Amino acid sequence: MIAPRSFGPMQRALSTMTPTPPPQSDPSRADSLIEYPCRFPIKVMGERVEGFVHAVTTVAKAFDPGFDASTIELRESKGGKYLGVTITITATSRAQLDELYRTLSTHPMVKVVL
């Protein structure tokens, strides 16, 4: 028969303590590590076809009226079939980013959004 394990005073004290969550100063930022507004890069990938960059730019401008298309970065895939488009928008809220990702992800020309 195995003897029951005994705990010392420190282990007993620690086992009765419940962790206290850190205080939240602003409940609207409780679930985000991002401080808004901020510059936020998004990589969008799709087939390298006519109109793809324009489509991504149009969506970016819809969510960030101050979007500067001159900041777009393009990168072709090794085989040249796909194109990565990095847009940098001014993010103003979690809701804005969520809706932007949703809109880009469901666009018929878009394969992946990161």
What does the block give as tokens for 6?
Answer: 């005994």
Q: What is the pLDDT of residue 93?
A: 96
For residues 49, 50, 53, 59, the Cα torsion angle rounded to the nearest 10 degrees is -100
* HSE value, Cβ hemisphere, 13 Å, CA-based, for 79: 3
- What is the pTM for the complete model shown? 0.72
Q: For residue range 25-57, what is the model confidence (pLDDT) as tens digits?
A: 444 555 678 999 999 999 999 999 999 999 999
- Mean of all residue pLDDT scores within the chain: 85
Residue ranges covered by each domain of the chain: 50-114
For residues 94, 95, 98, 104, the Cα torsion angle rounded to the nearest 10 degrees is -120
> Is the per-residue pLDDT at 24 higher than 90?
no
